[in-house]
Chains A and B, each alone.
Chain A
Amino acid sequence: MKRVYINEKWCLGCRLCEYYCAFAEKRHEYNNMALALKDTLISPRIRVEEYGDITFAVNCRRCEEPLCVKSCITGALTADGIDKDRCVSCCTCILACPFGAVSLVDNVIKRCDLCNGEPLCVKACPNNALVFEDRRCV
């Protein structure tokens, strides 16, 4: 399965991925990033972690056996997506995710949906630090 991978060696910590992720959510409303994100606080599904000189982006790792799905008490969360109507905002999935890749925004759970197979964060990364590829487990 194709996943978004980070080559931390090339991550510049510019955080363009975060903003493009936020834009991806609003693409159906706006075709312009300035209009979409002006004066808003973004809550992207990919986050750049920083520690000293090291920076790298983290988003949903697409686990083979996702703990978030396993932990969901209402069955709202599946490997493929979220049924917003069934989500009761209990946040168990957030506690369960070992990568901190699930978040709660406006009382609904958010997780990377890979932008229908064309992740915008990968496209926007200026240094090829984010790649979208199939790396089989060794």
Chain B
Amino acid sequence: MINYIYPEYEIIRNPDKCISCGVCVRQCANEVHENINKTNKVICDDSKCVNCHRCAVLCPTRAIKIVKSGNTYRENANWNCKTIDEIYKQAQSGGVLLSGMGNPENYPVYFDKILLNASQVTNPSIDPLREPMETRVFLGKRPDDIMRESNGKLINNLPPQLPLSMPIMFSAMSYGSISYNAHESLARAAAQLGILYNTGEGGLHEDFSKYGKNTIVQVASGRFGVHVGYLNAGAAVEIKMGQGAKPGIGGHLPGTKIVGDISRTRMIPEGSDAISPAPHHDIYSIEDLRQLVFSLKEATQYKKPVIVKIAAVHNITAIASGIARSGADIIAIDGFRGGTGAAPTRIRDNVGIPIELALASVDKRLRDEGIRRNVSIVVGGSIRSSADIVKAVALGADCVYIGSSALMAMGCHLCRNCHAGRCNWGIATQVPELVKRLNPDIGSKRLVNLLTAWRHEIKEMMGLMGINSIETLKGNRLMLRGVGLNEKELQILGIKHAGE
């Protein structure tokens, strides 16, 4: 049977503007654009286009735009075009559908249904340009009590802390899933900003050991690249139990990407698939997790905080409560919109729960149980702006992880084809001529710009609420009101409805 799926996007080339310079031809790794033989004319094969906008952005005369193609099946509220196409694809291939980046489906975004408070008349707002504002946070376990020597001097019983200039960190993206230059951009930006980036489970490239102070090293189920030097190279160690984009399943970096430095960094032979198992095979209970937490603490002389990262799932409160008692210093929760280099589409789009609800309920549960001080909470999974950060902090987060927005700062246009390995922006690829498209000088500068702007906005928003320290905002749910939310949602979020 002929299996033809009409291209999802069409490239519209304005013939009056096109000067046939061929930049689009040379820049498209998917070989969409092509010079017609012996003429200056360029034609496009829409079926190969992933809508990454590389050609549209680089076209010097702005002759190219990409639009959704109008081809549709007979209208059906139940069977939409995408669903039908996916059935055709699977009927042809017999394979699992793969996708990149976060869940794009139309689920509620609770951040967009929460509004912030502002000071008026009776309580003064603060002008951040004139008065000091504190955005610094410290992540880690807080001491249970104040201890003093017999002469009254304070005993420093503070467990290891991570100081951050603002409540933002770059979330885990492995070397392998993203390129060397993308990693270097993240590392350099983190060092410049006084925050942390995360190695992901791909190990730490030897060139980046100099950014150790700004690095979180991750230990995931595949244990790739883990050795005692690695654990001690960073500022903190993260145990990855789950990922928001694909809770409950492992990872698979195809052997074609395990080349050269990646193979050395991951400590596996070239060309072999890097398969991370779904569970950690040594963790089947909180007690087992505790053993790993303390093994890692032992290996790092109890000098580095241990983070446990989990995906936001239905029983998140009970799981978080267990983790808070496991000896971990920080819990990182990844919401169902979290990104990924590759995940089965069905899992990415249907598993997990929204981070806003998970965060609110975990914060409440830990407070109720009197163990909130045992851990800091870091949340990720589609933090899109400084407003999301302010709302997350007010819901109880100590800090947020940003992944997708950081990638976008480096050039990502969210075409969601990371799994294809031919990223035209030099991010999710290991092809040398594509990797070089991301110059870390530019990448790191843009990341620094983004977070500097966000930090400025956070200060403005704190100022208008009359708050001059981010710690005062933490868990301050009175600063939030919901709009268009039902009783249950408001109850879980622990906020009032607008007007109340």
Stretch in B15-23, B141-149, B216-224, B480-488 with 4+ CB within 8 Å of A: B15-23
Contact B19 A15 (CB under 8 A): no
Give B residues with C-beta under 8 Å from A: 16-19, 21-23, 26-27, 58, 60-61, 63, 432-433, 436-439, 441-442
Tell me the chain A residues, 24-79 only, with Cβ under 8 Å from chain B: 32-34, 37-40, 53
Q: A14-B23, A14-B27 are in contact. List 15 more A-B contacts (CB 8 A).
A: A12-B27, A12-B436, A12-B437, A14-B26, A14-B58, A15-B21, A15-B22, A15-B23, A32-B61, A33-B19, A34-B61, A37-B61, A53-B433, A128-B441, A128-B442
A92 contacts chain B at the CB level, 8 A cutoff: no
Give A residues with C-beta under 8 Å from B: 9-10, 12-16, 18-20, 23, 32-34, 37-40, 53, 124, 126-129
| Distance of A23 Cα from B442 Cα, bound (Å) | 25
B22 to chain A: which residues have CB within 8 Å?
15
- The answer to whether residues A124 and B60 also contact, given A13-B26, A19-B19, A19-B21 and a CB cut-off of 8 A, is yes
| Distance of A78 Cα from B19 Cα, bound (Å) | 33
| Distance of A13 Cα from B60 Cα, bound (Å) | 15
| Residue picked from B19, B23, B61, B437, most chain A C-beta under 10 Å | B19
Contact B432 A15 (CB under 8 A): no
| Distance of A31 Cα from B26 Cα, bound (Å) | 26
B21 to chain A: which residues have CB within 8 Å?
15-16, 18-19, 37
Contact A34 B442 (CB under 8 A): no
Contact B63 A34 (CB under 8 A): yes
Q: Across chains A and B, which 9 residue pairs bring their CB atoms closest together, nearest first?
A: A34-B61, A34-B17, A37-B19, A19-B21, A10-B439, A127-B439, A33-B61, A128-B439, A14-B23
A19 to chain B: which residues have CB within 8 Å?
19, 21, 23, 60
Of all chain A residues, the one with the shortest Cβ separation from B19 is: A37
A16 to chain B: which residues have CB within 8 Å?
21, 23, 58, 60
A32 to chain B: which residues have CB within 8 Å?
61
26 CB < 8 A contacts A-B? A10-B439, A12-B437, A14-B26, A15-B23, A16-B23, A16-B58, A18-B21, A23-B60, A32-B61, A33-B60, A33-B61, A34-B17, A34-B18, A34-B19, A37-B61, A38-B17, A38-B19, A40-B19, A53-B433, A124-B60, A126-B58, A127-B437, A127-B438, A127-B439, A127-B442, A128-B439
